[in-house]
Homo-oligomer: A and B are copies of this chain.
Amino acid sequence: MANIDENSVGIVQTQTMRLVDESEPLKLACGKTFAPIDVAYETYGKLNDAGDNAILICHALSGDAHVAGYNSPDDEKPGWWDVMVGPGKAIDTNKYFVICSNFLGGCSGTTGPSSTNSQTGKPYGLDFPIITIGDMVKVQKLLLDKLAIGQLLAVIGGSIGGMQVLQWAIEYPDFVRAAIPIATTTHLGAQSVAFDAVGRNAILADANFTDGQYHGAKGPDGGLAIARMIGHITYLSEQGMREKFGRQLRSAEEYSYDFNSEFAVETYLDYQGRSFVERFDANSYLYITKAADYFDLAKDYGSPAQAFADVESRFLVVSFASDWLFTPEQSGVIVDALTANRKDVSYCNIASPYGHDAFLLESETLGAFICCFLKATYDPDGEKQPCSCSAGMGRAFSHIEQAHRARVDYELIESLIEPNSTVLDIGCGNGVLLANLITDKGIKGEGIELKQDLVLDCICRGLPIIQHDIEQGLGSYADKSFDYVILSHTVQTVKDPKKVLEELLRVGKKVIVSFPNFAHWRCRGHLFFHGRAPVTKQLPCGWHDSPNIHFLSLRDFDEFCTDLSVKIEKKIPLSQKRLRPVKFMANLFAEQAIYVTSKNDTSLRP
């Protein structure tokens, strides 16, 4: 029985609409034209008068148009993303008008290989044309046109759905205000193509496949089940599988010494294979995986960076740390391509043990990111209040101020920055400095931060924020991308300060560096008179538990800059509590220092 509570969209009907008929067939990427095309879709919530609250959800391989609620009071389970879509949920149907359609080639109401070919009176089977992600998106656009949607607030999808999100943002740049591609990629790697190919092989090799014309007879159930089992192994992480199943036997203590399924993981796969066969069409499986294999932005547009050159959307890219099918590295390619184009992009790699399935399982964390990002994009009341979603930002930021980070330098750093400039803040924490700079100086700011909860804070503030370890460099950013790069109280915590500073000087015209001064008189005294590693307010930890792995003085940094041919434009020694620079014997009396540096243009030298 349906569990229709106040957070459910309730009973919904899947609707069907003819979008393409024989009079004007659709031109497909393969070169063929195709008609007719009917599309199954559902909608939730209401389109507002301004028409600016529409969100399109793109489903993955085995999904369908039925995202949320129940099609009938007798349904035991709601739609596939009910946890995310509904009144008061992350994708709040009280605020947004949500649309999802079964994609072209699917088997849940939209025209696909199991649809009847009017020319033969039989299902298309392998006579269905090979389709691409681009073709799917074209059909979705036709649907939105018919529904009189003039622009999308957001397009959201995971996995193959995420491919559609990327395609949307690229093909219809002014139609999409925000794009949220989740656990997806610009192209499948060899391993994923291989898994897909083996799955298709299993279907094609099944004696009951009969060239795709199995309708009415027993179909290639064995082959489709094999394909689905392979899929399920790739959707889970090794750790997730180990924790869920281990070596548990289904129903006995001892081995059965036969070939029946006996390990719990075997019976799980059997079940997944069997239940998939009941609801999915083997031909659709072939066509959809082929479309995924063919998806390749580099091939279609020259390179990922060229593909994203003209996008206008804000992006929230999300990956999951243990996802080995659509890996964090692959999301990194998307992020790099967007940063190379200086687009508005945020990225989080959510810590999760659930592999690719995390896209459906980490609903609370993922929901917070989506909710806050949507809120920062769509704020018709102009409240600029923290997002009120339960998972999100009722919290007031204050508890997440970073420890061990003296904030007196923030005001001074702010004073060093020209109005309306561009700023990249490395290790930006909860984004308070960037937010202040935007308010006070009208800058265009971006952040880089390592910690997931701080990344969420920044997204809530509407800041472009990328979860990234600065030690990995900033490869995707072009030279001189920013007027200022800020590295506040971080240089002493990175493994390779030289590499980091050089990288920052490459992407920033000026680099502002602040750090605690190890040669402050208190530190000197500690070592000189007491023979001990210094512990001060600026260096509050003991020798063995400090996050600082380097110790440097103003003089050390001066020499460092000389060695690297870095120009020191300003040097501001500071005491702990006062904003007034230390003027006398700075290396002795300053507790911290702020440097403004730039690259000596060596090309001007003889």
**Nearest CB in chain B: distance from A447 CB, A:** 24
User: How would residues 539 to 561 of chain A score, 1 for a CB under 8 Å from any chain B CB and 0 otherwise?
Assistant: 00011111001111111100110
Q: In the bound complex, how far is the Cα of B273 from the Cα of A126, in angstroms?
A: 24
The stretch of A192-200, A341-349, A386-394, A464-472 that contacts the partner chain = A192-200
Contact of A244 among B190, B266, B552 (CB under 8 A): B190
Chain B residues whose CB sits within 8 angstroms of the CB of A31 once the complex forms = 257
Contact of A198 among B241, B269, B324, B546 (CB under 8 A): B269
Contacting pair A587 B549 (CB below 8 A): no
Contacting pair B286 A126 (CB below 8 A): no
Contacting pair A257 B30 (CB below 8 A): yes
Contacting pair B527 A190 (CB below 8 A): no
Chain B residues whose CB sits within 8 angstroms of the CB of A519 once the complex forms = 527, 531-532
Q: In the bound complex, how far is the Cα of B543 from the Cα of A293, in angstroms?
A: 49
Q: In the bound complex, how far is the Cα of B123 from the Cα of A593, in angstroms?
A: 83
**Nearest CB in chain B: distance from A490 CB, A:** 13
Q: In the bound complex, how far is the Cα of B188 from the Cα of A133, in angstroms?
A: 38
Which of A273, A496, A550 counts the most B-chain CB atoms under 10 A from its CB?
Answer: A550
Contacting pair B531 A555 (CB below 8 A): yes
Contacting pair A265 B233 (CB below 8 A): no
Q: In the bound complex, how far is the Cα of B236 from the Cα of A189, in angstroms?
A: 13
Contacting pair B544 A532 (CB below 8 A): no
Contacting pair A527 B531 (CB below 8 A): no
**Nearest CB in chain B: distance from A141 CB, A:** 22
Contacting pair B242 A191 (CB below 8 A): yes
Q: Does A229 contact B (CB under 8 A)?
A: yes
| Size category of the binding interface on chain A | 35 or more
Contact of A531 among B257, B258, B293, B524 (CB under 8 A): B524
Q: Does A202 contact B (CB under 8 A)?
A: yes
Contacting pair B550 A546 (CB below 8 A): yes
Chain B residues whose CB sits within 8 angstroms of the CB of A546 once the complex forms = 550
Q: In the bound complex, how far is the Cα of B222 from the Cα of A244, in angstroms?
A: 31
Q: Does A124 contact B (CB under 8 A)?
A: no
Chain B residues whose CB sits within 8 angstroms of the CB of A233 once the complex forms = 191, 194-195, 198
Contacting pair B498 A266 (CB below 8 A): no
Chain B residues whose CB sits within 8 angstroms of the CB of A241 once the complex forms = 189-191, 194
**Nearest CB in chain B: distance from A104 CB, A:** 15
Q: Does A187 contact B (CB under 8 A)?
A: yes
Q: In the bound complex, how far is the Cα of B550 from the Cα of A523, in angstroms?
A: 15
Contacting pair B527 A197 (CB below 8 A): no
**Nearest CB in chain B: distance from A557 CB, A:** 9
User: How would residues 89 to 132 of chain A score, 1 for a CB under 8 Å from any chain B CB and 0 otherwise?
Assistant: 00000000000000000000000000000000000001001100
Q: A192's closest neighbor in chain B, by CB?
A: B238
Contacting pair A549 B549 (CB below 8 A): yes
Chain B residues whose CB sits within 8 angstroms of the CB of A543 once the complex forms = 550-552, 556, 560
User: How would residues 498 to 526 of chain A score, 1 for a CB under 8 Å from any chain B CB and 0 otherwise?
Assistant: 10000000000000000000110001100
User: How would residues 12 to 41 of chain A score, 1 for a CB under 8 Å from any chain B CB and 0 otherwise?
Assistant: 000000000000000000110000000000
Q: In the bound complex, how far is the Cα of B198 from the Cα of A273, in angstroms?
A: 10
Chain B residues whose CB sits within 8 angstroms of the CB of A223 once the complex forms = 205
Chain B residues whose CB sits within 8 angstroms of the CB of A524 once the complex forms = 527-528, 531
User: How would residues 265 to 277 of chain A score, 1 for a CB under 8 Å from any chain B CB and 0 otherwise?
Assistant: 1100100010000
Q: Does A584 contact B (CB under 8 A)?
A: no
Q: Does A60 contact B (CB under 8 A)?
A: no
Q: In the bound complex, how far is the Cα of B114 from the Cα of A280, in angstroms?
A: 37
Q: Does A296 contact B (CB under 8 A)?
A: yes
Known pairs A197-B266, A198-B230, A242-B191; A544 contacts B550 (CB<8 A): yes
Which of A223, A245, A294, A551 counts the most B-chain CB atoms under 10 A from its CB?
Answer: A551
Query: Which residues of A (235-290) have their CB < 8 Å from a CB of B?
Result: 236, 238, 241-242, 244-247, 255, 257-259, 261, 263-266, 269, 273, 286, 290
Contacting pair B205 A226 (CB below 8 A): yes
Known pairs A201-B229, A587-B531; A257 contacts B130 (CB<8 A): yes
**Nearest CB in chain B: distance from A374 CB, A:** 33
Contacting pair B527 A246 (CB below 8 A): no
Query: Which residues of A (547-602) have their CB < 8 Å from a CB of B?
Result: 549-556, 559-560, 587-588
Chain B residues whose CB sits within 8 angstroms of the CB of A30 once the complex forms = 255, 257
Known pairs A207-B207, A294-B255; A242 contacts B544 (CB<8 A): no
Chain B residues whose CB sits within 8 angstroms of the CB of A79 once the complex forms = none
Which of A130, A187, A532 counts the most B-chain CB atoms under 10 A from its CB?
Answer: A532
Q: Does A225 contact B (CB under 8 A)?
A: yes
**Nearest CB in chain B: distance from A597 CB, A:** 14
Q: Does A533 contact B (CB under 8 A)?
A: yes
Q: In the bound complex, how far is the Cα of B201 from the Cα of A206, in angstroms?
A: 12
Q: In the bound complex, how far is the Cα of B193 from the Cα of A245, in angstroms?
A: 10
Q: Can you list 25 A-B pairs, Cβ within 8 angstroms, ordered by A?
A: A129-B257, A189-B241, A189-B247, A190-B242, A190-B264, A191-B233, A191-B238, A194-B229, A194-B241, A197-B265, A197-B266, A201-B269, A205-B226, A226-B226, A238-B327, A247-B296, A496-B544, A497-B544, A524-B528, A528-B528, A532-B555, A533-B556, A543-B556, A543-B560, A551-B551
Interface residues of A (CB under 8 A from B): 30-31, 126, 129-130, 187-191, 193-195, 197-198, 200-202, 204-208, 222-223, 225-226, 229-230, 233, 236, 238, 241-242, 244-247, 255, 257-259, 261, 263-266, 269, 273, 286, 290, 293-294, 296, 299, 324, 327, 496-498, 518-519, 523-524, 527-528, 530-533, 542-546, 549-556, 559-560, 587-588
The 3 closest A-B pairs by CB, nearest first: A205-B222, A519-B531, A549-B549
